[in-house]
Chains A and B, each alone.
Chain A
Amino acid sequence: MKVEASDWFLIGPEVFLTGAGLLLLALATFFQKAKEEFLGYLAVLSVVITAVILSVVAAAGPRERGPILAGMFILDNFALFFKFLILIAIGLTVLASIKYVGTAPYPGGEYYALLLFTGVGMLFMVSGNNLISIYVALELMALASYILAGYFKGETRSTEAALKYFVLGAFSSGILLYGLSLVYGISGRMGLTDLAQMATSGDGRNLAVLGILMVLVGLLFKIAAVPFHVWTPDVYEGSPTPITAFFSVGPKVAAYAILARIFYVGFPKFHADWGLVVAIVAAATLVWGNLAALLQTNVKRMLAYSSIAHAGYALLGVLGFQTPYGLWGVLVYLLAYTFMNFGAFALVIFLETKGYAAESVSDFNGLARRNMPAAVTMLLFLLSLAGIPPTAGFIGKYYLFTAAMKAGYAWLAVLAVLASAVSLFYYFRIAAAMFFSEAAGARLQSSYALTAAVVLCAAGTLLVGIAPEGVLAVLKTCIPGGY
């Protein structure tokens, strides 16, 4: 395969981010623990520069942004949207980590470097236009994530989280890979656009469907849909909180991107075969995610189940992919979800006074008296997560419900709205703790970096909620194929 000069331009962001990661790794050896904050800011800077390079690439016309590396990758608006979203997620994670990592007794340089490497994996992943390139990028992201989950290597639960994540991640990757091999075996194709031409009938049909369903299962593992979610609460609970926040948005968003792309571009003709499975999984995810969250007293576990439930909502959009609202809804929702979910986790990080300890809901007691702006911002994220207007979460959910109705899954829409009403109960346990209980400690002060992350999330949540038109119009152009 010949690498064109234009290819280097188009993968510029990824190349730069890789370089930045390596540089951080090398620099880390020269920094003492106390000075590592600088590395964090350097990581933020590299993410910003990557975003700038990406903007330059994006500014090139759609024609210049043709297939990369002989069609292994493409850079359509869909990919660009996800790349920006992933950079936002990584940037927020680094900001939220700086103080946290600074106080942890483990070296921070590799932490930031690994974070950037997961970013590289995700950036490639969402561009993937070929089953092999998607898989390789996915594994790059996953391997770096496993290590990040176990970053607190002295803590049993962090190690446990990493191991669970690794074993189940590898297992799901295996299923995914096996599915890919079946699809390839039947069709002899790997490119997504070629796969779309795959015959839907004939000898290999059953095997092809089996392969597609295995691909689906592999990806459902990655987005933590029921019944493939069991790893999530443990991993989310055990990982360092900024990493949990990152897992809940970054890899999930990227997995959604490839789920949508593979099934929308590659297997639309097999909709009849995977549609019902996705519908049932979505229903189970919505119901179980929300019900299980009701029972949690640990905030990280509660938010883990909540993020499972949110994966279920987004599946409604995947189901409605044939309607104008389907993928549009997924994009709007993932954008909203990134801001609100990360914001909620960022407030958990803010409260983490006991270092790496389980966060109980009662830790939020009296936050309104300890730091009113923090409490109000948390309330905003909770309202958004529960889908109360006028927040980003409502706009996102609105699209997904619309997509489900339009696609003929009215029963699923009814289930989804009721599940959404139920979710308010556990979200507002935190609100009740913040506003109704007596303060459990002194006034709290936030670090600048974390404040920046929270303010960004709050601004995003409000902007998409109150003045969504600009965002909606841009996102409409990001649907592959377009409407």
Chain B
Amino acid sequence: MNLQQVPILSIVAYIPLAGALLLIFFFPKEKAGPIKAFATIVAGLDFLVSLALWFALDRAKAGYQFVERVSWIPSLGVEYHFGIDGISLVLLLLTTFVGFIAVYCSYTAISERQKEYYVLLLLLQTFMIGTFCCLDFFLFYVFWEIMLVPMYFLIGVWGGDRRLYAAIKFFLYTLAGSVLMLLGIIALYFVNTTGFLGYKGLGNAPTFSIEKLTAVAAGMPVELQIWLFFAFFVGFAIKVPMFPFHTWLPDAHTEAPTAGSVILAAVLLKMGTYGFVRFSLPMFPSAVLTPWVTRVMVTLAIVGIVYGAMVTLVQKDMKKLIAYSSVSHLGFVMLGIFALNMAGVQGAILQMVNHGISTGALFLLVGILYERRHTRMIADYGGLARPMPVYATYFLVMALSSMGLPLLNGFIGEFAILQGAFARSFWWAFSAATGIVLGAAYLLWLYQRVFFGEVSNPANQALPDLSVREQLTLAPLVVAAFWIGLYPRPILEVLRVPSEQIVRAVEGKTEMPPALADRAPVPAAPIAPAASGGTGR
């Protein structure tokens, strides 16, 4: 079967939705067993189907593949337009992979309103996959926003004590950012069509096609690029989250149920960095290359790395500790992106995946402990290695992976990012490297306090070690961590062509990479502010 011929992306995206609908209508809410089993099967099936994409993707081909394109709202030029390249593929697979684990890890953690819970998880899954597949800005915005709704309920219903506060804070922060992005999209739309605010439009047919608008945006004057860059920046930076927009993250991560934290860390945060890679760099190359813009971005990234790590160091709550470590890790990703070179960008994308695996696993591990003891305070533990040796081993592996130890996945990503940063400036790499040192400090110190020594708290004396199911949720993540750590080539190969394309789009400024050029010819005339202001209707 030729996968280019079937709407494979839609199938991957809507399997969870179909599963959710079946759950709603055909599964009585009193019987939790069948609901869990069915949700797991749906998520697992989705992962398997998405795996087919990994094998079918043409690594050498630039541009988007598995494209589906149907007109949706013709009077606006909105299309239902799906397609992926290597970057989206990797994140898509991360989504289906983590989505399955999130369903599977919730069997015992969630004991009430189970039907609603699994329905929401599956809906969230569909919306996240959709976001990574979109090639139409309007559609992208739809998925980007609607995704917040199931997450809001996951945090709000099944979260911790301060769940209401955390849920609405999460929603409002991300929404406030994305509405500004919407204005950016509208502005791009007008640049392509009839112009606005004194900028003459190109007079093209209305479209929201990401490829087309990327080409158009890259040709805009610097000043307009900078404005729109920041319109998009707010939306993405809050999602990443970059310092100083990160304050929603510790709350949301800490209060969310385990599966919610895992998905938040592994996938939702990647939406922001994905946005930077997919949109901000190729669309606004002149803005990105403007020295003060680069400087601001890199400074925020480095502050995020160092400040995030220092705050992590002082946390007393394990979950909060891991949440704050995300700020630091995502700072690395941002640094790699704004190094604006091959090593940096590729490393950043790889690090997105790595962070998803390591931090996702750490959240799982903390969740497992919480289920047993109903506390996440580090002070309540100590000497856990004795009653729970298997658990301690898993924790060690994932902690090492998170701090970037060679042989494990984190090392490859961080190394590439530092390499990319070093190529730009010694000081960038140096300041970022201090983050790695601090990272080792907080993780090892955490490990020491929780696992080593005598069992100080009698309540921990007889804690049962991991069950088979718990091991099965963790094992795939460990395998993935080792796989990327030992043999990252397959992933780097998938990422190579699209990363090159993005870097070239930035370096060549307005000169478009061939894959974009042959689909959407850029009009030769640069956009210039119109003398008379406005072009009428």
Contact = CB atoms under 8 A, between A and B. Distances in A.
Q: Do A and B bind each other?
A: yes
A402 B190 CA distance: 9
Chain A contact residues: helix, strand, loop or mixed:
helix
B152 A428 contact: yes
B464 to A, nearest CB: 32
B225 to A, nearest CB: 16
Contact of A408 (B74, B76, B176, B196): B196
Contact of B179 (A406, A421, A436, A468): A421
B536 to A, nearest CB: 8
Given A405-B183, A408-B197, A472 B76 contact: yes
Given A390-B142, A401-B182, A435-B156, A469 B537 contact: no
Interface stretch (B164-172, B396-404, B424-432, B492-500): B164-172
A432 B73 contact: no
Interface in B312-332: none
A462 interface: no
B262 to A, nearest CB: 21
Interface residues of B, number: 39
B182 A469 contact: no
Contacts of A435: 153, 156-157
Given A324-B537, A421-B176, A472-B76, A405 B146 contact: no
Contacts of A394: 142, 145
Contacts of B167: 432
A355 interface: no
A188 interface: no
Contact of A424 (B116, B156, B171, B533): B171
A375 B533 CA distance: 49
B74 A388 contact: no
B416 to A, nearest CB: 36
Interface string B143-154: 001101100110
A389 interface: yes
Contact of A428 (B168, B187, B198, B537): B168
B124 to A, nearest CB: 15
Interface in A313-356: 322-324
Given A406-B196, A408-B197, A388 B145 contact: yes
Contacts of B148: 388
B233 to A, nearest CB: 14
B126 to A, nearest CB: 13
B75 interface: yes
B75 A472 contact: yes
Interface residues of A, number: 35
A468 B73 contact: yes
A199 interface: no
A413 interface: yes
Interface string A187-230: 00000000000000000000000000000000000000000000
Contact of B172 (A421, A472, A476): A421
A483 interface: yes
B143 to A, nearest CB: 8
B82 to A, nearest CB: 16
B74 A469 contact: yes
A265 interface: no
Interface centre among A383, A388, A401, A422 (most CB of B within 10 A): A388
A414 B145 CA distance: 18
A468 B116 CA distance: 29
B183 A432 contact: no
B167 to A, nearest CB: 8
Nearest to A386: B175
Contacts of A398: 182, 186
A5 B405 CA distance: 90
A319 to B, nearest CB: 14
B27 interface: no
B63 interface: no
A112 B269 CA distance: 54
Main secondary structure of the interface of B (DSSP, over half): helix
A436 B172 CA distance: 18
Interface string A399-427: 00110011010100110011011101100
B149 to A, nearest CB: 7
B183 A428 contact: no
A296 to B, nearest CB: 16
Interface in B410-443: none
Contact of B146 (A389, A418, A424, A432): A389
B141 interface: yes
B292 to A, nearest CB: 22
A3 interface: no
Nearest to A469: B73
Contacts of B537: 322-324, 483
A425 B168 contact: yes
Nearest to A391: B146
Interface string B447-465: 0000000000000000000
B141 A389 contact: yes
B534 interface: yes
Contacts of A383: 149
Interface centre among A421, A422, A468 (most CB of B within 10 A): A421
B445 interface: no
B516 interface: no
B156 A436 contact: yes
Interface in B284-320: none
Contacts of A425: 168, 172
B72 interface: yes
A420 B190 CA distance: 22
Contacts of B197: 405, 408, 410
A391 to B, nearest CB: 9
B180 interface: yes
B178 to A, nearest CB: 8
B271 to A, nearest CB: 16
A422 B197 CA distance: 26
A402 B185 CA distance: 10
Contacts of B75: 469, 472-473, 476
Given A390-B142, A421-B176, A424-B175, A402 B153 contact: no
Looking at B72, B182, B190, B194, the one whose CB has the most chain A CB atoms below 10 A away is B182
Nearest to A425: B172
Interface in A264-323: 322-323
Given A424-B171, A435-B153, A435-B156, A413 B183 contact: yes
Given A401-B183, A408-B197, A408-B534, A390 B146 contact: yes
Contacts of A473: 75
Nearest to A408: B197
B149 A388 contact: yes
Nearest to A406: B196
Interface in B163-218: 163-164, 167-168, 171-172, 175-176, 179-180, 182-183, 186-187, 189-190, 194, 196-198
A406 B535 CA distance: 10
A435 B168 CA distance: 13
A425 B186 CA distance: 24
B190 to A, nearest CB: 6
Given A322-B537, A406-B190, A472-B76, A389 B175 contact: no
A417 B145 contact: no
A184 B171 CA distance: 52
A155 B142 CA distance: 46
Contacts of A388: 145-146, 148-149, 175
B239 to A, nearest CB: 14
Contacts of B149: 383, 388
Contacts of B73: 468-469, 472
Interface string A43-77: 00000000000000000000000000000000000
A473 B533 CA distance: 29
15 contacts: A388-B149, A401-B186, A402-B189, A405-B183, A408-B196, A408-B534, A417-B180, A418-B176, A420-B179, A422-B172, A425-B168, A428-B152, A469-B73, A472-B73, A483-B537
Given A398-B182, A401-B186, A432-B168, 7 more contacts: A324-B537, A368-B116, A383-B149, A408-B534, A417-B182, A424-B172, A483-B537
